[in-house]
Chain A
Amino acid sequence: MSAVGGVTAPGAAAPGAAAPRLAALHAEWTKLRTLPGTFALLVAVAALTIAVSAATAAAYDCRAGAGCLAAATGADPAKISLTGLDVGQVLVAVLAVLAVGGEYGTGMIRVTFTAMPRRLFVLTSKAAVVTGLTLASSLVAVLGSVLAGRLLLPARGLSAANGYTLLSLADGADLRATLGSVLYLTLIALLALGVTAAVRDSGVAIGIVLGLLFLFPILAAFVPGRTLARHLEQASPLIAGQYIEATTGLRSLPLTPWQGLGVLALWAAGALLIGGLVLRLRDA
């Protein structure tokens, strides 16, 4: 290829034409990688999640007395250590929204679809790239949070002396909570991706995603009827999804941890489905 054109002779294979999937993936990776905010956001996801988790663990204070025993407080070391996810998920959603919505904001989307007319390839490639980046960032965020909890909590009263089991990745429930939380953040990203593909505007999309996440907890808390509140909790992507963080009191949860994460997965799948359909059927 000369520096002049980039025009390929007819018949010669365009780069990646044999593997359009790979080419689309590479294109999306390049676009996301070269956005100025992407890596700042990824770092912020990890840093803020760990900071909020550590601050929450440090704020816990119930060191001595019968009221501080594990049976009395019902406190869950894993859940406390993973509080930062509440903030981390916002940034993850922003990242995913920008991956799609940024193109609509600048009109780049028309170029993208001209170059890659198979729009679902574009969406799946975006999903794959965002998934990969979110997985990496959330793994750091979650492992850092768990480590902070492991180091801080015993001194604040969640100690073996008070009857708590210390956080450990060798423990089945703790490992499930840790890996599940990474999946949780990733599913939030996919949910945001699907919503943005459907509404085509970053501002509206992030509003819908955050509304979807935060409205259910408010409603469930302030609806006085217990049955209705329980159903709202079961349907909430945030509440049900975060059941995956729980390691104690699993019997009192309306769903098992994996079922809860499944609820979030259903929301994400639904959003991606609608986003994909809209993308395919509608004008860009």
Chain B
Amino acid sequence: MTAIAPYRCAARRANDGFGRLLHAEWTKFRTVRGWVVAILLAPLLIVAVAFLQRSECGIGNPLPNGTTFNSACPASPIGPGGEAVTDSFYFAHQAVSGNGSITARITSLTGVYPAHGGHMAAAANPLAGYQPGVQPWAKAGIMISASTAQGSAYAAMLVTGTHGTRMQWDYTGDAAGRPGAASATAPRWLRITRSGDTVLGYDSPDGTHWTLVKTVSVPGLPATAQVGLFTTSPSYQVIKTSFGGSSGTGGQTLATGRFDNVRVAWAGAGTTWTGTSVGAQGTGPAGVRSGPPGPDPFKGKFTQAAGAYTVSGAGDIAPDVPEAADGNGMSAQNALIGTVVGLIAVIIVAALFMTAEYRRGLVRLTFAASPRRGRVLAAKAVVIGLVTFVAGLAGAVIALPLGIRQLRDGGNYVLPMSALTEARMLAGVAAVLAVAAVLALALGTLARRGVTAVTVVIVVIFLPFLLGTLQGLLPLGAQEWLLRLTPAAAFAVIQVVPAYHQVLAPYSAANGYFPLSWWAGFGVLCLWAAGALTAAAYLLRRRDV
């Protein structure tokens, strides 16, 4: 008897490596014409929607005085951080050099606002139809500012209408101090101390016991800066948060702050104050004076008598956010909204990428050739993820500049953004599409059947975005929760301007504000994908093909 050598496969070991598997899945993908067409369609759809972003800013807006406003929307000043800002207020100031401090006591902050929204009524009395009432974020206080030009670096201690004492700096910074409003019986003492680039803000109820609110760094302050008293009052905005979504209406407002016990402890400080109306108050539709000619109370004024100062002003010192009453910019994120459209094509292909194996029985061959089923799933995920990432990136890279150009061609002012934000948006769009494709693949694996898989991926990935962003479909609270919990949260990657609590605006997804930050939203999508992929891998192993 001769020993028979057992059979050994002659194929090289490397042939069952993951690279081979990837190659196999890539071949399966690229040889189905419909899938390739659909994946190529995704970037085309993204670009096509960017192309539709053409809209004329301001044209056709009738003004109360009978004319029509039809010039381009003006640009906003740029703050020290590079962001667009609103910067209009009345400033009674003097120039000081080096380090020092300014102290003041505020005894009241009052205001008027239009009773039914709208603009000034008659030339004789511009404030006819106004009623007393201070805006929640009306501000009066002391400030150190680089200059009186709009967009200057600054730090300020201030009293607000209903949000207590605050320290604010460089437009986006905001820290809370003592709560409560200022009044004659409960005045507020404020102090700012400069030490180089560092500014310290203090508040006090009595002028003797001081509390440090915040120490901030304001690198934009020159050696000689302007210090003084200021007042401003943002436009009145009624944000209707009814079932139908949110919308804002309103008009200009005016606030008046009363100061005394003003002490400027600075080398070279005098007793003469210069009054400057910073910026063009009364934005109306985009900076155009909508009222009749005559004295304009919204320019603000400043009076001084026996150590008491009265400063009144209108406007806001805050970041320019889309849809805010005093904002006039549009966010570039509108250019990438086509991602949602491209997403449909992507998730359908990704789901079919798995279900087609089951439909044709190919899955038996696939698993016979590669018995480790989890690796097949991983290979498919890598292939569909990479293909989608590349397609999505290509679409986004073309769509963003195109959409911005379309907006600008219509006269819109597009809010500036940093290169980092831009890169995050582009990579974010590609990554969202890729991870959504992986999620769709996993759901397709769970469903095994094309029609179920496609329905499930559209209901799970796409429908929440629709329900969460379109006005009037659901109550606002429900919409926010949808955009926190479902994969649609990931669309926050295209959001440019965050919501600022110190600026009143209709913050809703319909207006481009997502409830989660971009990284948290993307994380939610990744969690969904990871969960579905784990379940799919487990079921693949457990069940028969």
Contact = CB atoms under 8 A, between A and B. Distances in A.
Contacts of A97: 451
A175 interface: no
B478 interface: yes
B420 to A, nearest CB: 25
B451 A203 contact: yes
Contacts of A219: 49, 52, 341
A71 interface: no
Contact of B469 (A90, A210, A221, A226): A221
Interface in B415-467: 449-451, 453-455, 458-459, 462-463, 465-467
Given A203-B352, A206-B455, A217-B466, A75 B340 contact: no
Interface in A71-94: 72-75, 80, 83, 86, 90, 94
Contacts of B466: 214, 217-218
A165 B467 CA distance: 27
A80 B242 CA distance: 13
Contact of A59 (B334, B453, B478): B478
A206 B454 contact: yes
Contact of B450 (A72, A201, A222): A201
A218 B340 contact: yes
Interface string A63-74: 000010000111
Given A59-B478, A207-B348, A224-B334, A215 B243 contact: no
A145 to B, nearest CB: 15
A11 interface: no
Interface residues of B, number: 47
B459 A221 contact: no
29 contacts: A56-B474, A59-B475, A61-B475, A75-B243, A94-B455, A203-B348, A203-B351, A203-B359, A203-B453, A203-B454, A204-B34, A204-B348, A204-B454, A206-B450, A206-B454, A206-B455, A207-B454, A210-B458, A217-B470, A218-B341, A218-B466, A221-B470, A221-B510, A222-B337, A223-B53, A224-B410, A225-B52, A226-B55, A228-B52
Nearest to B341: A215
Main secondary structure of the interface of B (DSSP, over half): helix
Given A60-B243, A214-B462, A222-B334, A206 B52 contact: no
Given A86-B473, A211-B344, A98 B451 contact: yes
Contacts of A74: 242, 244
B471 A221 contact: yes
A60 B473 CA distance: 11
Q: How large is the interface on A (under 10, 10 to 19, 20 to 34, 35 or more residues)?
A: 35 or more
B45 to A, nearest CB: 9
Contacts of A94: 451, 455
B242 A75 contact: yes
A159 interface: no
Contacts of A59: 474-475, 478
Contact of B244 (A56, A75, A210, A222): A75
B357 interface: no
A83 B355 contact: no
The 9 closest A-B pairs by CB, nearest first: A203-B450, A224-B55, A202-B451, A207-B348, A222-B337, A225-B55, A207-B454, A210-B458, A203-B454
A75 B465 CA distance: 23
A203 B410 CA distance: 40
B242 A73 contact: yes
A270 to B, nearest CB: 20
Given A207-B348, A210-B454, A214-B463, A224 B243 contact: no
Given A105-B450, A222-B334, 20 more contacts: A61-B475, A62-B242, A67-B242, A73-B244, A74-B244, A83-B474, A86-B467, A202-B450, A203-B359, A204-B454, A206-B451, A210-B455, A211-B344, A211-B458, A214-B466, A215-B341, A221-B470, A221-B510, A223-B49, A225-B52
B56 interface: yes
A105 B242 contact: no
Main secondary structure of the interface of A (DSSP, over half): helix
Contacts of B289: none
A105 B453 CA distance: 14
A105 to B, nearest CB: 6
B364 interface: no
Contacts of B242: 62, 67, 72-75
Interface in A185-218: 201-207, 210-211, 214-215, 217-218
A58 to B, nearest CB: 10
B454 A60 contact: no
Given A67-B242, A98-B451, A207 B458 contact: yes
Interface string B457-499: 0110011011101110111001000000000000000000000
A195 to B, nearest CB: 12
Given A67-B240, A67-B242, A203-B352, A225 B54 contact: yes
A83 B348 contact: no
A215 B475 CA distance: 21
A101 interface: yes
A223 B52 contact: yes
B451 A60 contact: no
A94 B455 CA distance: 8
A56 B459 CA distance: 18
A111 to B, nearest CB: 18
Interface in A226-278: 226, 228
Nearest to B356: A203
Contacts of B458: 90, 206-207, 210-211, 214
B332 to A, nearest CB: 12
Nearest to A227: B55
Interface in B356-411: 356, 359, 407, 410
